[in-house]
Structure 1
Amino acid sequence: MKRIMLLLCLTLVSCGKDDGITPVSFVQLLSNPGKLEGKRVSVFGFFAVGVGAELFIDKVHAQFGDGASAITVIDTTENGEMTFNCQGKYVIIKATFDMHRGLHSLKDVERIYEPGKPPCFASQ
């Protein structure tokens, strides 16, 4: 599974820009957040719900609730459809990366999808 994730992350990074969205690895977001703040990004991770909706580096970190390897996903849907439809899956999220008071988050989510499948969430 780690090999698949690494391959996907490398593929995302090497593909260049897509509609103004910069493909980045999860590690890039955590290690150099200032460089990406306010930019539209595409990132792969494990989407889980605990205290809130979060994208983790992988399923194991999600199971342990490892906040240091998580990015908050801001769900602004009225009924929580984004969180409900996408939780518990390895996904790619296209959104704006934000840092507020040192907290990493993905906001203004455009799309969440499992690689090779239709989106579990797409903004209108």
Structure 2
Amino acid sequence: MTTTNDIAVGQVRRDDRGRYIQADTIEHGEYGAQVYVTVVAREVGGRITTPGTKSSMTAERFAKIPLVDAAPTPTGPDINEVVIDRNRQAIIIDGTEHLYHVGSSGPRIAQGPADGSALVTVQFYVRTVRGA
């Protein structure tokens, strides 16, 4: 049985999906301890991203994830510049124009980490998708 002595706020653990998960808070409830976490870094291909997604899991599950000293430093934004032309429904990514599908909300922009970067979500209408 895992106890909360095995985990602490601020601990960083690396899961089998390449995510570095940091414990933000630990709460004790009727069904045991719950750990609220933030994904502070993620290995994607040869780069390190900072998703910043928040989640929660049981203390027992968190304790089973291997403990690491710290998360790696992010490699920075994937794209240097994005220009959104809402009138033409086009997005220019590092100088290359792509038409996008407005969908229900159009491009969504969320402030990224403190370095001034942003997370941009866009829907593309494509004929064929290939991927791993």
Q: Same fold (TM over 0.5)?
A: no
If the length of structure 2 is used for normalisation, what is the TM-score?
0.28
If the length of structure 1 is used for normalisation, what is the TM-score?
0.29
Structure having greater relative contact order (Cα 8 Å, sep ≥ 6): 1
Q: Which has the larger helix fraction? A: 1
